[in-house]
Amino acid sequence: MKSIVCLHSLTPEQVGQIKQAAPGYDLIVKNKKELSAEQVQNAEVILGWSKTIVEDALLATSKLKWVQTWSAGVDTLPLERLRDKGVLLTSASGVHAIPISESIIGMMLSFSRQLHMAVRHQLKKEWKSDLSVPGLATLGEISGKTLVIVGVGEIGRETARLAKAFGMRVIGVRRSDQPEPHVDRMYTMDGLHEALGQGDYIVNILPLTAETRRIFNAAAWNATKEGAYFFNVGRGPTVDTDALMDALKSGRLSGAGLDVFEAEPLPADHPLWDMEQVIITPHVAGSNDRYTERVIDIFTENLKSYAQGQKPPRNLVDYGRMY
């Protein structure tokens, strides 16, 4: 019997959902430590991924034909080996749209209303009505401001929708300049620096590829509107951290909300921890209590097509683009 291996815990309802989508398949639900080499080698479909299964899954004699990742990003997978074996790869892109867009809005509001400073004073039991960081902006509004979203996919679309509800102007940047309903103007990546020069708030949601690695560098910050705020919920290595800190220290950037970093976890002695104009979250912007439910919805939609001999319709990764 054909086999599906899932490396994550599922409810009985989710198990039933998968079995209904592909009735001719055996479903094995085990964590990576419980799986035998034989179970991995015999799996035609793997839901999730782990470094511990790489060698067994990618043997020349293994039966692997399709991997559905548990994550939206695929840059940590052995993409060349998967491609060379002819394995279909689909991501969980879209699963993060609601929680990450809400995290972005939350960070913007924290800076505009200086909530991060109020919390710092609260911990010291200090009553201070002046919440401003010395030399930087004080209480303001996001209404009427311009938001630049770099990497307009599922997350960017939802972020744009929310931003418009707050009365913001929205500029998008992505590979294609095709319009989006809640984006006032769309640039291609060639227009990145022009777009950055207009943003009061800038959000990076780019995947990590050869082209995007450290794309937010000194040249990008020099093109950015002075006093802008920057948020990174994409991939840490798309940002040159030293150049970012220089922009923060000089006041070129008023603040930064960072969920991802070049090195994770962020070292305890890293200077970013002590910068008052920085909000740090530990790579949790996409975490939520409906994550598994949404991944399974994506997987079962793909599985129904795959079981009928078709390619999975959602989030099929282009190995050339790395997403």
Residue 299 sits in a domain of what CATH number? Answer: 3.40.50.720
Residues 226 and 248 in one domain: yes
In 3D, which of 103, 90, 37, 50 has the Cα closest to residue 305? 90
State whether residue 45 is helix, strand or coil. strand
137 band by pLDDT with thresholds 50, 70 and 90: low
What percent of the chain has pLDDT above 90? 95
Residues 220 and 274 in one domain: yes
Residues 74 and 207 in one domain: no
Report whether pLDDT(178) > 70.
yes
Q: Which residue is it, tokens 């777009």?
A: 195
Residues 160 and 268 in one domain: yes
Give yes or no for a cis peptide into 265 (omega within 30° of 0): yes
301 as an active site residue: the answer is no
Q: Name residue 213's amino acid.
A: R
264 as an active site residue: the answer is yes
What does the pLDDT look like over 42-85, one tens digit per residue? 999 999 999 999 999 999 999 999 999 999 999 999 999 999 99
**pTM for the predicted model, two decimal places:** 0.89
Do 149 and 203 form a contact (C-beta atoms < 8 A)?
Answer: yes
Q: What is the pLDDT of residue 173?
A: 98
CA distance from start to end of the chain = 31
In 3D, which of 258, 292, 303 has the Cα closest to residue 111? 258
The 66-68 sheet, strands edge to edge: 25-29, 2-6, 45-47, 66-68, 88-90
Residues 34 and 88 in one domain: yes
Residues 251 and 108 in one domain: yes
57 in any annotated domain: yes
Average pLDDT, the chain: 96
Token pair for 321: 């683009």
Extended beta strands in 161-284, E state: 169-173, 185-187, 201-204, 228-232, 253-258, 278-280
28 in any annotated domain: yes
Residues 86 and 141 in one domain: no
Token pair for 65: 């034909």
Domains held by the chain: number: 2
Judge residue 86's burial from the number of C-beta atoms within 10 Å of its C-beta, 0-12 exposed, 13-18 middle, 19 or more buried. exposed
What is the extent of the structural domain holding 157? 97-280
Q: Which residue is it, tokens 């004073």?
A: 121
Residues 51 and 129 in one domain: no
- Report the number of secondary-structure helices (H) and strands (E) in the chain: 11, 12
313 in any annotated domain: no
| Sign of the alpha-carbon dihedral angle for 201, 206, 208, 210 | negative
Report whether pLDDT(136) > 70.
no
203 in any annotated domain: yes
315 in any annotated domain: no
Q: What is the pLDDT of residue 135?
A: 65
Check 8, 270, 283, 294 and give the catalytic one: 283
Check 83, 211, 264, 321 and give the catalytic one: 264
Q: What is the pLDDT of residue 132?
A: 78
Residues 214 and 166 in one domain: yes
Residues 53 and 176 in one domain: no
What does the pLDDT look like over 182-201, one tens digit per residue? 999 999 999 999 999 999 99
Residues 231 and 301 in one domain: no
74 in any annotated domain: yes
User: Counting every residue, how long is the chain?
Assistant: 323
317 in any annotated domain: no
- Who contacts 183 (Cβ-Cβ below 8 Å, separation ≥6)? 149, 152, 160, 170, 171, 172
Instruction: Quote the Cα angle for 188-190-192, to 5°.
Output: 80
- 99-118 average pLDDT score: 96
- Who contacts 272 (Cβ-Cβ below 8 Å, separation ≥6)? 241, 245, 258, 261, 266, 278, 280
72 in any annotated domain: yes
What percent of the chain has pLDDT above 70? 99
Check 157, 182, 235, 252 and give the catalytic one: 235
235 as an active site residue: the answer is yes
Q: Helices 154-165 and 97-112 sit at what angle, rounded to 10 degrees?
A: 40
- d(CA 4, CA 15) in angstroms, rounded, equals 11
Residues 45 and 128 in one domain: no
